[in-house]
Copies of this chain bind each other. A is one copy, B any other.
C-alpha cells in the first residue's frame, strides 16, 4: 500500500483520513508469478489493478508472432481504467517478475470515485500520466534512433521507479531482457544488444545482472532528448522540501501541489 501512495504524492498529498473511502473498498491482494497473465486480451475487464510490487508489461501480439510491448507497469501503477466502461481488454498484461497486486471490482470502485472527489482527482492524474507516457512512447518509436530510444526509455523508467519508491540512486533494477526492450522500442534484440554495448563502451551505462547503472544522466538526457516534463511531476527534491515544511499534511486533506506552482510567472 505504501508504494502506491508514494506515487500519488507526486501530485496530491492526501491525509490518511482522506484515503479511508479507498481503504474501505472490498479489495483483495493477489500474487502473480513471473510469466503469469494478469489481464488477457479479449476477456471482459471488470476489475481495477494496482501494482504494489514487481514489474509487468502490456503487449500485443500480431498474427505472425511479432510482439509490441505497449508499456511497462511499475509499482504504484494503476490499470485498467478501461474496465470502468465494461469493455473487453484489448491487450494482455503479463508479470515480468513475481507481482503483488491489489484487485478491486470496478463497480464499487466507480462508486467510491463518485463519492470522494479528492481520490478521484488522484486517480485521474494517474490516468493522465499514463496517457502522457503512451504519447511519449509514440514519439520515441516514431522519430528517434535506436540509441535515443534506449536512453530515453531508461531515463523514463528510472524516473518512474524513483517516483514510486522514493529512492534516488543511479541504479535501476530492471528485470528485463534484450528481447523485451526490443519489443518495446520497435527494434530487434540483436540491435538492442549492439547499441547497448556501444553505450557501455562510451561510459553511459554499466550493467550487472539485471541491474543498470546510469553513469551520466546528464549526458544521457542530452543524447536522447529526454525531458521529464511529460510525466507531470515536480522535481522530487522540491517535493521533499515541501513535505518537510508541511509536516503531516494539511487539514483539508488535500494539497494541490501543481496548482500552487502556477503562481510563479
Contacts and interface: CB of A to CB of B under 8 A. Distances in A.
Nearest to A231: B90
Nearest to A262: B44
Given A62-B143, A186-B141, A125 B85 contact: yes
A82 interface: yes
A117 interface: yes
A177 B137 CA distance: 24
A182 B78 CA distance: 33
Contacts of A66: 143
Given A70-B135, A114-B114, A135-B91, A143 B186 contact: yes
A174 interface: no
Interface in A235-264: 256, 258-259, 262
Contact of A141 (B60, B81, B138, B258): B138
23 contacts: A58-B135, A68-B142, A81-B128, A82-B128, A84-B124, A84-B128, A85-B124, A85-B128, A86-B258, A87-B128, A87-B258, A90-B135, A90-B230, A90-B232, A91-B135, A131-B131, A131-B134, A134-B134, A134-B138, A141-B142, A142-B184, A142-B186, A143-B183
